[in-house]
Amino acid sequence: MEGQPTDAVFTVTAGLVRAFRLLPDGRRQVVGFALPGDFLGLPRDAVHMFSADAAGHTTVCRVARRAFLELIDEHPDLLRRVHESAVRALDIAHDQMMLLGHRRAKTKIAAFLVGLRERWARIRSATALVPLPMGRQDIGDYLGMSISTVSRTLTNLAREGVILIVPNGVRILDLPRLTEIAKA
């Protein structure tokens, strides 16, 4: 499921999927992480690439693109929900653009963690523990920074007592402060 063109639509049922684009020189930009419940492959025929990934055997629900389009014709209400999903994705994308533009490593990481926490909270109930099934490299490609800086920044936040680094994730110790940093 590595680098297939979009001839199908997916829904994540468990785990986490990263969606990315490749640059001509081989580098990549992770354009989003899909959590359980999220749609994937909404964009039309554009050259989008995906990669299923990580976290306790990710599972997805796959629907042929053609079938999906027919389904929409029959149930106009479905289109509504798909559209809402797209709009929310656009919303997140805009937030992300804000992050990427105003570049301060600490801010980016903090905002990333806070945002992810909220998204997880909407699914599971756990609050303080934020799972990070993706690798440091993925986070870097998502936030537009090098793997080294991701690591450094995380350890700095840990040293300040704001977070605690645990296997495959992070435990937020001081959410108010983290939120504060995220806004700077």
Q: Is residue 148 a contact point for DNA (CB under 7 A)?
A: yes
Q: Is residue 51 a contact point for DNA (CB under 7 A)?
A: no
Terminal CA-to-CA distance of the chain, rounded, Å?
Answer: 38
Residue 153 CB, nearest approach to DNA (Å) = 7
Binding residue (CB under 7 A) for DNA from 114, 150, 162, 178: 150
**Gap between the Cα atoms of 165 and 155, Å rounded:** 8
Tokens coding 106: 């600490």
Q: Is residue 151 a contact point for DNA (CB under 7 A)?
A: yes
**Gap between the Cα atoms of 15 and 56, Å rounded:** 6
Binding residue (CB under 8 A) for a copy of itself from 100, 147, 158, 175: 100
Q: Is the separation of the CB atoms in 38 and 77 below 8 Å?
A: no
164, containing H or E segment:
strand 163-166
Nearest one of 110, 119, 166 to 139, comparing CA atoms = 110
Number of residues that bind a copy of itself (CB under 8 A): 38
Positions in the binding site for DNA (CB under 7 A): 103-106, 135-137, 144-152, 154-155, 165
Positions in the binding site for a copy of itself (CB under 8 A): 21, 23-25, 27, 29, 31, 42-44, 46, 76, 79-80, 82-84, 86-87, 89-91, 93-98, 100-103, 141-144, 183-184
